[in-house]
Amino acid sequence: MTHKNQITSKIPVGILGSTGSVGQKFIELLAEHPWFEITALAASERSAGKSYRDAAHWFMSSPIPEKIADLPVSDCTPNLPCRIVFSGLDASVAGKIETEFAKAGYIVVSNSKNHRFDSDVPLLIPEVNPDHLALIRTQQYGKGAIITNPNCATTGLVLALKPLNDLFGLEALNVVTMQAISGAGYPGVASLDIIDNMIPVIRNEEEKVESEPLKILGRLNENHFEPANFKISAACNRIAVTDGHTECVSVKFRKKPSAQEIIGAWDRFSAEPQYLNLPSAPKQPIHYFSEDDAPQPKLHRMLGNGMTVSVGRLRECPILDYKFVVLSHNTIRGAAGGAILNAELLVSKFPGIG
């Protein structure tokens, strides 16, 4: 008997920032979700009062789900007909609004950066640190809570590193990213800046990639939190790819394994979302390609419905120990899909929370 069977009627959920690019992805991914049903859409005051169809400049590649198109959009005040809200709010407003919702008793499942480093807020990847979810018991919000998922460039990277860190211990990590334009939201990157071009910077991104993995791979002892202890160097670039962040990684381990041991660790990796059979959990969290020209964003970003992380080109590194390439879908695994998986874990662990 799966959890799916235990839930007989769907849990109502709301979406904050529902007209933006992350909000649209939430809607697309939740349209046929077996557990959740969108009952509330919120956005800025400019959109409030309109139907979703009129408020959003929809640009997903599937049409607006029929049942969503005519829902009214409200503003982001905490009186939505649901308990769980997904937040795709812009960082400029997310901090305050998410706090208000949590204080009002809502469970806020956020993709925004604002609360990621709050000491009592889990920065969660369900396959990596599901135990961190326990932090919400220590939160200041009464019946409300905030959980967050990491930056889109962090998520795939940390997932690929998780089994290696468990088995061999990370000592140093160098990563150079080639990130998709959808990571910048809409309108985001101007076409004049990226066609026949690349941009060798994504502002504030390297800081995130150099800090978030340490929190996620950290250890929670009672209520004492100990971040992971290894060095990270990141260089972040924007390239002309619509979806899918590719990362060239080199790592040094405390105990250098063989290449076969690394591939074995990836191939065997399975974690709580897989055991719990969560609806958005991919069968295989990490897929290693033995072909020498994989992974590639266009070919492999949709593996596991965009929730599997692809890895390839494992080879020795003359400076650190090994080099490899990681690819993950930035708006699914790295944003809306990751947040939904977080909510699924939450509901599974705290039945009745919705």
Classify residue 104 by burial, with Cβ atoms within 10 Å: 0-12, 13-18, 19+. middle
Which stretch in 103-111, 143-151, 157-165, 186-194 sits in contact with its own copies by CB under 8 A? 186-194
Token pair, residue 257, equals 């394994």
Q: Is 319 in the site for its own copies (CB under 8 A)?
A: yes
Q: Which two tokens stand for residue 320?
A: 């650190």
Question: Interface with its own copies includes 228 (CB under 8 A)?
Answer: no
280 binds its own copies (CB under 8 A): no
Least Å distance, CB 231 to its own copies, is: 5
Provide the CA 305 distance to its chain's centre, in angstroms.
14
Q: Which stretch binds its own copies (CB under 8 A): 111-119, 142-150, 234-242, 337-345?
A: 234-242
245 included as an active-site residue: yes
Binding window for its own copies (CB under 8 A); candidates: 25-33, 35-43, 121-129, 192-200: 192-200
Residues 63-82 that bind its own copies (CB under 8 A): 63
Residues 6+ apart with CB under 8 A from 177: 153, 202, 205, 209, 234, 235, 236, 237, 245, 246, 247, 248
* Annotated catalytic residue within 76, 82, 152, 236: 152
Q: Please state the closest distance from residue 59 (CB atom) to its own copies, in A.
A: 7
Is residue 317 part of the annotated active site? The answer reads no
CB 7 within 8 A of CB 35: yes
282, 305 contact by CB (below 8 A): yes
- CA 123/CA 101 separation, integer angstroms: 18
Tell whether residue 347 is a contact of its own copies (CB under 8 A).
no
**The pair of three-digit structure tokens given for residue 234, joined into one six-digit string:** 């990141």
Contact footprint for its own copies (CB under 8 A): 21, 59-63, 172-174, 176, 178, 181-182, 186-201, 203, 210, 231-233, 235, 237, 239-242, 246, 248, 250, 292-300, 302-303, 312-313, 317-320, 323, 325
Question: Which residues are identified as catalytic?
Answer: 152, 245
